[in-house]
Amino acid sequence: MAHHHVLSDLRILVLDDEPDLRTLYELTLLREGYQVEAAATVQEAWGLLNTRRFDLVITDMRLPDGSGIDLLKGIRAQQRSERCIVITAYGSAENAVESLKAGAFDYLTKPVDLKQFRSVVAAAVQGARGGAAALPLTVSSTTTTDKGVQALCRMAGDSLAMRTVRERIVKVARSMAPVMVRGESGTGKELVANALHANSHRKDGPWVAVNCGAIPENLLEAEFFGAKKGAYTGATQDREGFFKAADGGTLFLDEIGDLPLAMQAKLLRAIQERCVRPLGGNQEEIVDVRVVSATHKDLPGEVAAGRFRQDLFYRLNVIDIDIPPLRERPEDLPALCHALLARIARESGEPVRQMPVSAIARLATLPLLGNVRELENMLHRALALSEGDVLDLPDAGALRAQPGVAANKAEPAAKPALPEDLQAYLDDKERHILVRALRETGFNRTLAAKLLGLTLRQIRYRIVRLKIDAPDMQGDDGDA
């Protein structure tokens, strides 16, 4: 038999009760140069597992005397180091998902594509000898690394919801299963993904975070899979893609729901086959990455609408972590404010300011639709406005436009008439706000811009367009 390379010392156990398939898998693996043992039942497989150590176990899901999941759980329970690949029937996504949750390295669906079979096996054995991702899934607090603890601590908050999120991270970090993090914008999805990486066996491997919505469509393929020099106009040198950059580590795909369908298909293939081909390259390159994705969209709804591939959704959404919005956990505000102020102080080199309880209580009355990100912006603005050691919110309304404040008065306010000239009305309102911000900052345009969430360039443009000049800064007239 012609081997592709010298017989390796990597040992693989193949478990399938169909003799033809078992032989096919066995021959394919022998041709690749692996040492192979085969079994037809779970009992037979345990007979072999009890006599020696394997690097990889490939098992069918349905067996005469049990299931592939049972075998997988048995291997995990004994804290054995074998990585496992489970073969499931076509279309049984639930079984595939269950096997990944139980700790499988990956799964293949029948009918098995041999090219895919070879590349998934190659990826599995590549890191198996290091045993990294094959260690037991149970984690005690003592095995959580300093890096991991720090990453968890960045998610401040003592609410039950946040404690649950942190516990779930520790619980699932060690598995290879893909995780989908769901939550509104600004809730801290990237922090969760980073904590998953920092508490996993891949913590010393690369961490690559990608915002899928920020990459121009024509560059997606080159960015994800790499490109050879000259593969497209502007490719002046070889480019390493995100997958290759994350090899041996974690790839975080933020806003996964923004990927166009054509790219979704290519991403699915790379995840399934665990290999990528750079644009303009003729060689497939094996990659071993754990994928964590995040979205603020309702992906099942996107699947139903035909905008997101169902097979990709099943691949990515094996384990889910939901982050509740900040308005549902106001009890987290004190810890969050303290953590954010400490971070702002560290970054600016200034002393940490304390925040009185009264100010935090006022924050709790705001809708905070932008979640933790909005809270951080508000604290930045409050710092720009306040003096002294204690940070106060001069007026919560100045920090955030609050719609519907008048609603809780005894009698409903009469509806104001619609403006006759909308642009003039808006210009007038904008002028008032700008003048007020400039007054409050002593006409410091940089600070005023920060206060309003604008860039210096944007505020300069508005000052010119709305003809705001020095006389506007005198007196208090029109500061409504």
Confidence of residue 139 (pLDDT cuts 50, 70, 90): very low
Tokens (6 digits) for 262: 């054509």
Q: How far apart are CA 124 and CA 83, in angstroms?
A: 7
The predicted model gives 440-451 an average pLDDT of 84
Q: How far apart are CA 143 and CA 135, in angstroms?
A: 12
The predicted model gives 382-386 an average pLDDT of 78
DSSP 193: H
pLDDT of residue 17: 93
Q: Is residue 123 predicted with pLDDT exceeding 90? A: no
Q: Is residue 196 predicted with pLDDT exceeding 70? A: yes
Q: Do 11-134 and 327-401 share a fold?
A: no
Q: Is residue 403 predicted with pLDDT exceeding 60? A: no
Pick 359 or 250 by higher pLDDT.
250
Q: How far apart are CA 119 and CA 294, in angstroms?
A: 26
What SS3 class is residue 302? helix
Q: Which of 243, 244, 218 is nearest to 233 (CA)?
A: 218
Pick 24 or 418 by higher pLDDT.
24
- Rg of the chain over Cα atoms, rounded to whole angstroms, equals 28
Q: How far apart are CA 321 and CA 179, in angstroms?
A: 7
DSSP secondary structure of 390-411: B---S-HHHHS--TTGGGGSSS
pLDDT of residue 105: 86
pTM of the shown model: 0.64
pLDDT of residue 90: 64
- Whether the CA torsion 263, 272, 100, 168 is positive or negative: it is negative
pLDDT of residue 415: 62
Confidence of residue 7 (pLDDT cuts 50, 70, 90): low
Which fold does the domain 11-134 belong to in CATH? Answer: Rossmann fold (3.40.50)
Which fold does the domain 327-401 belong to in CATH? Answer: Helicase, Ruva Protein; domain 3 (1.10.8)
- Does domain 422-473 bear CATH number 1.10.8.60? no
Neighbours of 473 (CB within 10 A): 12
Residues 141-322, CATH architecture: 3-Layer(aba) Sandwich (3.40)
Q: Is residue 112 predicted with pLDDT exceeding 80? A: yes
H or E element, residue 458: helix 456-465
Q: What percent of the chain has pLDDT over 70?
A: 85
Q: Which residues contact 319 (CB under 8 A, 6 or more apart)?
A: 100, 101, 172, 175, 177, 178, 179, 180
The label of the residue with tokens 């994800």 reads 224
Q: Is residue 392 predicted with pLDDT exceeding 90? A: no
* Domain range annotation of the chain: 11-134, 141-322, 327-401, 422-473
186, exposed or middle or buried, with CB in 10 Å at 0-12, 13-18, 19+?
buried
Confidence of residue 394 (pLDDT cuts 50, 70, 90): low
pLDDT of residue 107: 85
Contacts 24+ apart (CB under 8 A), 234-241: 235/279, 235/280, 238/278, 239/278, 241/276, 241/278
Confidence of residue 470 (pLDDT cuts 50, 70, 90): low
What SS3 class is residue 286? strand
From residue 76, give the alpha-carbon distance in Å to each of 10, 70, 137, 138, 343: 20, 10, 7, 9, 40
The pair phi, psi for residue 386, each rounded to 5°, is: -100, 155
H runs (alpha helix) in 294-421: 299-304, 310-316, 333-348, 357-363, 371-385, 396-399
- Whether the CA torsion 264, 269, 271, 275 is positive or negative: it is negative
Which range has the worst mean pLDDT, 31-45, 353-367, 382-396? 382-396
Which range has the worst mean pLDDT, 228-232, 275-279, 406-410? 406-410
Q: Is residue 275 predicted with pLDDT exceeding 60? A: yes
The predicted model gives 164-175 an average pLDDT of 84
pLDDT of residue 411: 41
pLDDT of residue 127: 64
Q: Which residues contact 205 (CB under 8 A, 6 or more apart)?
A: 246, 247, 248, 249, 250
Tokens (6 digits) for 271: 């995840």
pLDDT of residue 364: 86
Q: Is residue 43 predicted with pLDDT exceeding 90? A: yes
The predicted model gives 244-266 an average pLDDT of 94
Q: How far apart are CA 11 and CA 125, in angstroms?
A: 9
The predicted model gives 152-181 an average pLDDT of 86
C-beta separation of 277 from 284 below 8 A: yes
Buried residues in 420-448 as b, exposed as e (16+ CB within 10 A):
eeeeeeeeeeebebbbbbbbbbeeebebb
Q: How far apart are CA 193 and CA 208, in angstroms?
A: 10
pLDDT of residue 23: 94
Instruction: Specify which residues 132 forms β-bridges with.
Output: none
Q: How far apart are CA 434 and CA 449, in angstroms?
A: 9
Mean pLDDT of the chain: 83
- Pairing relation of β-strands 106-109 and 290-295? unpaired
pLDDT of residue 472: 60
Q: Model confidence over 57-67: pLDDT tens digits?
A: 999 999 999 99
